[in-house]
Structure formats: C-alpha cells, structure tokens
C-alpha cells in the first residue's frame, strides 16, 4: 500500500514503539490517529506529527475498555473517513514469579495485551471489510515464541497475539479478502520505558536484557510490512536467530533463555519494592512520554552484544547432535 495519504491508527502512541511508529508514518505522509492513556503525551506526539505536514488526531484511550476502542475507531472515521492501517501496540507487563503475581494483575495484563488487540482488530477489520482493503499490524514479541520465566502473563499474551494473527489470516483467506492483511511483528528487547513501567513483585529491579534495539528499528519493520505484507516479521538478528534456534531445538534454547533472564533482566544488586507499576493507570513520572527508556539501544550496542547473547555455534551443534542421538 502507499503510505502517503493513508490513515493510520496507532495504539500505545504516547511512548516507545508506538511513538516512534507514529512519527515515522507522519514523515512518510500518513495522517495519524494516536491512542494511549496519557492525553498530554498524545498531544505532544500529535504536534510533532503535524510538523511533517500531515493531519493528526489524539484520542485518549484505554484499550482494555471495548467501548473506548469503539469510540477511537468512530473518531478516526469521523475525522478522516477511512482507516487504512491499524497498529495494535499498547501493552503492559509484569515481572514476578508465577505464584507471587497477583491474580488481578495477571488478568489486567491479559485484558490489555490480548483483549485490547481483539477490540482493535474487530474495529479495524469491520472498517477494512467495508473499504475492501487495509492492513492490521499486531506488535507481539519474541517471548511469544520463547516464553521467559518471571513474565508468565506477558509471555502468554504475546503467544495469544500470534495465534490471533494466524486465525484472522485464515479467515481472510477463506473469505478471499486478498487486499486485507494481518501481520505480526516480533521484537526482541527494545529501548523503551516498558521496564520502568511494568508491575514488579520480584524484589529485583527490572532491566532491559541486552542486546537492546531501538524503538525505531521496530517502526522501520512496521513500515516495511505496510509496503510488502507478510504473516510474521522478527526484528533484528538476535531475534531471528533465537526464533530459528527455538524451532530447531526448543529445550536447550528455553534453558538458555531462563538463565539469561535470571541473570540479565532482573538485577541481583538493585532491589525493587512491590508495585503494580503503570498497568492500571499512566505513570505520573513520565506524563510527557518518551520514545526510549534510557537503555542505550543503538546499532553499535546491538553489534557489540549480539555474539555474547546468541547461543554459541558449537553448543548449538552439540545440542542438535545429542537430540538426534536420543
């Protein structure tokens, strides 16, 4: 599809991947409808988008509220007359051992990360069906392929997002809706405020586990999918390598990831008080929003850490040989 002149709805647009994607869409000439819970931050992003000569609309939205998502779609149609792109990106997370995660928080993560995407897909596909064309982009995660310890609700939600994409693509194929696409993006660790804002009952500060990619790397992948849709796209070398290795030999990769998360994502030196973070409401400390989270997600950081983070080739080969013998 042509991005210039299109109308794109972006959820989670106040910070991180959503903000980076909205700005990149605006630079390419798309009108944008911005959704998130932080009205002040949305207005700032909307103003930045308008500087590129496009129209933008900020609609404060809690995606876990089905009525609010319906209003978001209605506002987009009223203002622009159509919806060409819908990007489901808003998500929350929780860091805690399974038995220490409050069930209310567990449900909230699933409500935002799964039902929020369901509500968005329903609104988007209804409009795109009437138009005869459009693209939905669902932002999942490589943890939807390789679930991690201490993040059960988040890992479950991202696996569900992948399953949602497969199911919707199957229905569209049966309906011969060739000009309507549903694509799923699987990012690795991204430099956003996500880790500061998540609920945390682990007793340890949550960190961005290296290598860390920029939010703009995901935004670039999203725009590539708009130009050439495909079912799934993994962001970055480490993400693609990890997914491929997991499909080849899941048990060694899962064991490796478990150790990496325990050592690299939850600090052993910095404690953290129990907190629901921002899963129920916006983080007051970041009212203005930001793209990055201060984790130094730059290309050179990725290159420097990729070899250290990937499974060594010799270990992979040995594990495959052991698996074949057994």
State residue 27's pLDDT score.
98
Class of domain 7-325: alpha beta
Given pLDDT bands bounded at 50, 70 and 90, which one contains residue 292?
A: confident
Helix (H, G, I), strand (E, B) or coil at 150: coil
Classify 186 in phi/psi space as left (phi over 0), alpha (psi -120 to 50) or beta.
beta
Higher pLDDT, 211 or 17: 17
Please name the residues in contact with 216: beta carbons below 8 A apart, sequence gap of 6 or more.
20, 24, 291
Q: Please determine, for residue 291, whether its predicted confidence score (pLDDT) is greater than 80.
A: no
What per-residue confidence (pLDDT) applies to 294?
A: 78
Task: Name the least confident of 1-5, 49-53, 86-90, 312-316.
Answer: 312-316
Q: What does the pLDDT average to over 1-30?
A: 97
> What's the token pair of residue 101?
């995660």
List, as one string, the DSSP characters of 158-180. Answer: HHHHHHHHHHHHHHHHHTT-TTE
Helices then strands, each counted (H, E), the chain: 12, 13
- Could you count the other beta carbons within 10 Å of the beta carbon of residue 240? 15
- Predicted pLDDT of residue 285: 53
Of 150, 154, 201, 213, the catalytic one is 154
**C-alpha to C-alpha distance for 317 and 175, rounded to whole angstroms:** 44
Tokens found for residue 7:
């109308």
Residue 297 has pLDDT above 70, yes or no: no
Mean pLDDT computed over 176-197:
95
C-beta separation of 110 from 125 below 8 A:
no
pLDDT of residue 210: 85
The whole-angstrom separation of Cα 193 and Cα 191 is: 7
Share of the chain above pLDDT 90, in %: 82
Tell me, what's the pLDDT at 321?
58
Whether 154 is a known active-site residue: answer yes
Residue 182 is given by DSSP the state E
Q: Which two tokens stand for residue 284?
A: 């007051």
The answer, yes or no, to whether residue 298 has pLDDT greater than 80, is no
Cβ atoms of residues 203 and 272 within 8 Å: yes
Question: pLDDT per residue over 245-284, tens digit each?
Answer: 999 999 999 999 999 999 999 999 999 999 999 999 986 6
Q: What is the pLDDT of residue 177?
A: 98
- pLDDT digit string (tens) for 69-97? 999 999 999 999 999 999 999 999 999 99
Q: pLDDT of 230-250, one tens digit each?
A: 999 999 988 899 999 999 999
Task: Provide the pLDDT for residue 295.
Answer: 73
pTM as predicted:
0.91
What pLDDT, on a 0 to 100 scale, did the predictor assign at position 237? 87
At residue 114, the pLDDT reads 98
Instruction: Check pLDDT > 70 for residue 60.
Output: yes
Delimit the domains of the chain by residue range. 7-325
Q: What is the mean pLDDT of residues 202-207?
A: 96
What is the mean predicted confidence (pLDDT) over 302-325? 51
Alpha-helix runs per DSSP H in the chain: 16-27, 39-50, 66-80, 103-110, 116-131, 152-174, 194-197, 215-227, 237-248, 250-264, 299-309, 313-325
């Amino acid at each position: 599809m042509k991005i210039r002149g299109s109308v794109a709805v972006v959820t989670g647009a106040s910070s991180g991947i959503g903000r980076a994607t909205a700005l990149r869409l605006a630079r390419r000439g798309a009108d944008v409808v911005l959704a998130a819970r932080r009205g002040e931050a949305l207005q700032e992003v909307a103003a930045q988008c308008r500087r590129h000569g496009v129209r933008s609309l900020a609609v404060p939205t809690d995606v876990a509220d089905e009525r609010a998502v319906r209003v978001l779609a209605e506002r987009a149609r009223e203002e622009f007359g159509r919806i060409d792109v819908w990007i489901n990106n808003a998500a929350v997370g929780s860091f805690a051992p399974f038995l220490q995660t409050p069930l209310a928080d567990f449900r909230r993560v699933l409500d935002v990360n799964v039902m929020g995407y369901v509500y968005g897909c329903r609104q988007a596909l209804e409009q795109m069906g009437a138009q005869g064309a459009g693209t939905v982009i669902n932002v999942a995660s490589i943890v939807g392929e390789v679930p991690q310890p201490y993040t059960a609700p988040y890992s479950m939600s991202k696996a569900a997002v992948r399953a949602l994409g497969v199911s919707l693509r199957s229905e569209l194929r049966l309906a011969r809706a060739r000009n309507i696409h549903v694509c799923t993006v699987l990012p690795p660790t991204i430099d956003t405020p996500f880790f500061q804002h998540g609920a945390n009952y682990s007793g340890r500060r949550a960190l961005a586990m290296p290598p860390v990619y920029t939010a703009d790397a995901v935004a670039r992948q999203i725009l590539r999918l708009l130009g050439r849709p495909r079912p799934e796209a993994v962001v970055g070398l480490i993400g693609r390598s990890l997914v491929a290795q997991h499909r080849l030999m899941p048990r060694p990769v899962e064991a490796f990831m478990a150790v990496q998360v325990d050592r690299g994502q939850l600090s052993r030196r910095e404690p953290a008080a129990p907190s629901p973070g921002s899963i129920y409401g916006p983080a007051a400390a970041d009212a203005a929003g930001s793209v990055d989270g201060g984790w130094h997600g730059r290309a050179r950081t990725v290159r420097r850490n990729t070899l250290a983070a990937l499974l060594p080739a010799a270990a992979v080969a040995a594990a495959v040989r052991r698996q074949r013998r057994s």
